[in-house]
């Protein structure tokens, strides 16, 4: 299911943001904040690396040690296990 902010982003060329926000019941400032965050995800590269490790290991690895160890082994990255869990 798509989020309300994603729907606004897709329909923006056809209607005004004010109309769409009013219809969906969200604030315009929240919609613009979403757009700002969407394009600027500082952890996107780490997410891709975690996804790559997950795919390499046939989707059977645990977040705490295995993915954390693989991040260090393959990419020399030291990442907290809580952050790995959040990004999964």
pLDDT tens column, 22-55: 998 989 998 888 888 777 778 888 988 998 888 8
50: which residues sit within 8 A by CB, 6+ positions away?
A: 67, 71, 84, 87, 88
Answer whether 0.85 is exceeded by the pTM: no
| Greatest Cα pair distance in the chain | 50
Reported as a pLDDT band with limits 50, 70 and 90, residue 74 is very high
Does the structure show a pLDDT above 90 at 7? Answer: no
61 and 52 Cβ atoms separated by less than 8 Å: no
pLDDT at 63: 67
């Amino acid at each position: 299911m798509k989020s309300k902010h994603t729907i606004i982003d897709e329909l923006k060329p056809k209607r005004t943001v004010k109309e769409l926000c009013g219809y969906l019941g969200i604030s315009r400032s929240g919609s613009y904040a979403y757009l700002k965050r969407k394009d600027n995800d500082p952890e996107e590269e780490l997410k891709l690396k975690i996804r790559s490790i997950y795919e390499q290991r046939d989707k059977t690895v645990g977040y705490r040690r295995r993915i954390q160890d693989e991040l260090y082994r393959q990419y020399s990255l030291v990442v907290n296990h809580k952050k790995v869990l959040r990004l999964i």
